[in-house]
C-alpha cells in the first residue's frame, strides 16, 4: 500500500505542475498586456503634452509676429510723417523764396493787358539854376533777380516731390533726373539735386548719392541745401567706412555753418565715431 502511494506521488506532482503552468503563462501575458497599456497611456499623455506645448509655442510666435507687424507699421507711419513734415517745410521755404523774388502788385485777370504806367515828367530846373543831371543809378548784377519759374516747371517739381512723398524712391529718382535735364537753370535745381541725392541715399546707392551731393555743392555754393548736402556727404563716407574723409567733411561743415542743425548733427556723428574708436 505504501509502495503504491510512493508510485502515485510523481504523478500528482506532474499533474500539479501541468495544471499550474497555464496559470503562470496567463499571468505573464496579462502582465505584458497591462504593461503595454500603461506604456500606451504614458506615450499618449506625452504626445498630448507635446502637442499642447507646440500649440502654445505657435500661439506665442503668432503674437510676436503680430506685435512686430504693429511696431513695423508704427515705425513706417512715423517715418512717413517725418518725411512729409520735412517735405512740407521745404515746399513752404521754396514758396517763400519764390514770393520774395517775384512780388506782383496785384493779380491780373486772364487775358488782361499788362498796364503800362507812364514815366513821370522830367523835372526841369529853373533857368537861373545850373546843376548837372545825374544819370539814373544802375542796379548791380548781383541784385538782378533770376527769372521766376514757369507754371510747367513748378508743376514738374511738385510732381517729383509727390512721388517722393509716396516712398517710390526709384520713380522719384527718375522724375528728379528728368526735371534737372529739362530745367538745368531752374530756381528749383538745387532742391531737385538734393532730393535726387536723398533718393539714392535712402536706397543705399552711396556712390550715386555722393556724386549727386558733390555736384550740388559745386554748382550751387549759395544754396540753402548746401549744409544738408555736405552732412550727407559726411554720412556717406561714414557708411563706406572712410573715417578720414567723414571726419574731414563733418569738421568742415561745423566750421562753415556753426550753430546750424546740420552742424549739430555733424557733431553728434563725430562723437559717435569717437565712441566707436574711429
pLDDT value for 265: 94
The domain containing residue 27 runs over which residues?
A: 11-76
Report yes or no on 241 lying in a domain.
no
Report yes or no on 270 lying in a domain.
no
- Per-position b or e across 3-13, b if 16+ CB within 10 A of its CB: eeeeeeeeeee
Cα 21 to Cα 12, 16, 30, 170, distances in angstroms: 14, 9, 14, 90
Round to whole Å and give the CA distance between 80 and 169.
13
Residue 195 · residue 161 · CB < 8 Å: yes
Report yes or no on 50 lying in a domain.
yes
Report yes or no on 265 lying in a domain.
no
Report yes or no on 63 lying in a domain.
yes
Q: Which of 203, 206, 258 is nearest to 227 (CA)?
A: 258
∠ CA 139-142-146, rounded to 5°:
100
Residue 226 · residue 216 · CB < 8 Å: yes
Report yes or no on 235 lying in a domain.
no
Per-residue pLDDT tens over the stretch 174-213: 999 999 999 988 889 999 999 999 999 999 999 999 999 9
Backbone φ and ψ of 118, nearest 5°: -70, 140
Round to whole Å and give the CA distance between 253 and 269.
12
**Structural domain count of the chain:** 1
Report yes or no on 260 lying in a domain.
no
Residue 117 has pLDDT above 60, yes or no: no
Residue 157 · residue 191 · CB < 8 Å: yes
pLDDT value for 135: 44
Q: What is the pTM (predicted TM-score) of this model?
A: 0.50
Per-residue pLDDT tens over the stretch 5-14: 545 555 555 4
Report yes or no on 22 lying in a domain.
yes
Q: 10: which 3 cell numbers?
A: 510523481
pLDDT, mean over the chain = 74
Amino acid at each position: 500500500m505504501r509502495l503504491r502511494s510512493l508510485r502515485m506521488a510523481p504523478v500528482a506532482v506532474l499533474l500539479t505542475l501541468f495544471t499550474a503552468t497555464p496559470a503562470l503563462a496567463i499571468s505573464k501575458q496579462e502582465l505584458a498586456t497591462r504593461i503595454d497599456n500603461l506604456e500606451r497611456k504614458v506615450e499618449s499623455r506625452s504626445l498630448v503634452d507635446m502637442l499642447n506645448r507646440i500649440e502654445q509655442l505657435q500661439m506665442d510666435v503668432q503674437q510676436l509676429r503680430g506685435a512686430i507687424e504693429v511696431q513695423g507699421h508704427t515705425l513706417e507711419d512715423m517715418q512717413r510723417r517725418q518725411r512729409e513734415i520735412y517735405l512740407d517745410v521745404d515746399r513752404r521755404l521754396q514758396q517763400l523764396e519764390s514770393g520774395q523774388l517775384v512780388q506782383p502788385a496785384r493779380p491780373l485777370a486772364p487775358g488782361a493787358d499788362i498796364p503800362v504806367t507812364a514815366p513821370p515828367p522830367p523835372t526841369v530846373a529853373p533857368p537861373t539854376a545850373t546843376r548837372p543831371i545825374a544819370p539814373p543809378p544802375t542796379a548791380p548784377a548781383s541784385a538782378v533777380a533770376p527769372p521766376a519759374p514757369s507754371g510747367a516747371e513748378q508743376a514738374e517739381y511738385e510732381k517729383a516731390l509727390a512721388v517722393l512723398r509716396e516712398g517710390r524712391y526709384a520713380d522719384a529718382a527718375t522724375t528728379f533726373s528728368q526735371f534737372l535735364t529739362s530745367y538745368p537753370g531752374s530756381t528749383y535745381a538745387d532742391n531737385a539735386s538734393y532730393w535726387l541725392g536723398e533718393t539714392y541715399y535712402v536706397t543705399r546707392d552711396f556712390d550715386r548719392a555722393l556724386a549727386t551731393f558733390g555736384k550740388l555743392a559745386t554748382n550751387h555754393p549759395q544754396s540753402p541745401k548746401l549744409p544738408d548736402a555736405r552732412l550727407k556727404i559726411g554720412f556717406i563716407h561714414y557708411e563706406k567706412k572712410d573715417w578720414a574723409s567723414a571726419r574731414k567733411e563733418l569738421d568742415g561743415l561745423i566750421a562753415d555753418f556753426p550753430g546750424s542743425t546740420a552742424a549739430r548733427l555733424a557733431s553728434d556723428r563725430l562723437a559717435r565715431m569717437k565712441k566707436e574708436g574711429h
